[in-house]
Structure 1
């Protein structure tokens, strides 16, 4: 069993990112918290459904096998709530459920990007198999990338949430410094995940070693992606992709240091 196992991923932009895998302890703790929330949710559902079913059966006593159909529908809804809980939170909470958020871990795709509905659904559907006889736990402990069956099929990893605040060891323009102060009012910087920040940092650190054409192409590609993430509509005229990324880097640093 390996504690604090680190892994390096290469993004589609050819930027290398390093993460610490969550480990069996953090994942088990997060799952326990999620199951407590799920149990309370399903308990309320069944209480409500039973009360509703009793009233419906009494109102329509002439309908044969109504109780059986209501029971079957309840089991279907129970399954949808169980699966939907993990799918909803992992998609809309950027790879986290309430349990994962408390445990400070998160699901990402194998290429370092955030999970989508396809990955979250596959993980949720296979969770019951992973929980059977602790199959998932054994796979996590024995696997190099600490993946359960759902992770293998969905192409995902579970990592520790790391807020990367680092010393700036590359030049930052004055224009970028000024823009970084204005960005929090212009865009949603909190949408940036640590791996988004890491990708920006890696580019800014390595751009001096790139050719002019390679640097220009990569900076534009990353800037477009970041702009969509932070929901920024308009940029000041004459702002280059490099200046924009420098400003986002500083804005994220300043935001993280206040937490």
Structure 2
């Protein structure tokens, strides 16, 4: 098993992002939480279904003279599987790779290139989950593969990583101008449009800019600032706000809101 295995991605902006793979312990803990939630849901469903089925069988027998118990049982199994697969598809798509269990375990699913997963990846992972659980195939693959992938991850092209804890601003300098501009920024734009990965790129730049040459730093700062402006639909920044100040303000506003992890609508 690869303890604290890490993977690296290079963004189009030439910023290197590094993530820690979730590991089988965190994934097992997340799955236990999810299964407890599913178990409660199933109990409520089956109790309701038994009550409804009893009424339907009596009505059908009195009306048509034949039982329909077999069909009701078949429908119950189909609905229960849809609930099982749909739970993971729904949450992993809506919450960008997280279910309630994964959120509590502080892990999430991303694509192999670090991008958030979509409906296709979430569906493939959910449909292949029963195969992963037969004879603990998924656990075996997670333990003995380099990127800790179960069958669903191999087919859908995903990995499971630990959720990164936001780096505090103490690790790099936030200018006084950015501290005053970020309050204005909260009034003129909606930061929820940005993805967590967008903030990860900004954070990585702010952390690493001190080691860059002036020319490279200026070019990358302008490029990142323009991309963030386009996403936020900000046509033009005040003339007194430099690109570095703008990026600092975006980071500070988002980090200060305590909403690390919200997604693009």
TM-score by length of 2: 0.81
The DSSP-based 3-state class of the residue aligned with 2:115 is coil
Looking at structure 2, the residues matched to 63 and 81 of structure 1 have their Cα atoms a distance apart, in angstroms, of: 32
Q: Pick from 126, 140, 155: which aligns with 1:153?
A: 155
Q: Given that residues 223 and 244 in structure 1 are in contact (C-alpha distance below 8 angstroms), is that contact kept between their aligned partners in structure 2?
A: no
Find the counterpart in structure 2 of residue 50 from structure 1. 50
CA-to-partner distance for each residue in 1:158-187, whole Å, 9 max, x for gaps? 11122222435367471x322323444555
Find the counterpart in structure 2 of residue 59 from structure 1. 59
Q: CA deviation at 1:29?
A: 1.0
Q: CA deviation at 1:218?
A: 4.2
CA-to-partner distance for each residue in 1:65-95, whole Å, 9 max, x for gaps? 5322222221111111001111111122232
Q: CA deviation at 1:109?
A: 1.7
Q: Pick from 207, 230, 238: which aligns with 1:224?
A: 230
Q: CA deviation at 1:142?
A: 0.9
Find the counterpart in structure 1 of residue 8 from structure 2. 8
The DSSP-based 3-state class of the residue aligned with 1:126 is helix
Q: Given that residues 60 and 67 in structure 2 are in contact (C-alpha distance below 8 angstroms), is that contact kept between their aligned partners in structure 1?
A: no
Q: Given that residues 98 and 108 in structure 2 are in contact (C-alpha distance below 8 angstroms), is that contact kept between their aligned partners in structure 1?
A: yes
Find the counterpart in structure 2 of residue 90 from structure 1. 92
Looking at structure 2, the residues matched to 234 and 129 of structure 1 have their Cα atoms a distance apart, in angstroms, of: 47
Asked whether 1:251 is paired with 2:253, we answer yes
Q: CA deviation at 1:190?
A: 6.6
Asked whether 1:200 is paired with 2:202, we answer yes
State the aligned residue count.
251
Farther-moved stretch of structure 1 (103-112 vs 23-32) = 103-112
Q: Pick from 208, 216, 223: which aligns with 1:210?
A: 216
The correspondence of residues 68-79 of structure 1 with structure 2, limited to 5 A, is 68-79=70-81
Q: Pick from 97, 117, 120: which aligns with 1:118?
A: 120
TM-score by length of 1: 0.83
CA-to-partner distance for each residue in 1:95-145, whole Å, 9 max, x for gaps? 211111111111122222222111111111111111111111111111111
Q: CA deviation at 1:214?
A: 5.8
Consecutive unaligned residues in structure 2, runs of 5 or more: 260-265
Consecutive unaligned residues in structure 1, runs of 5 or more: 228-232
Find the counterpart in structure 2 of residue 40 from structure 1. 40
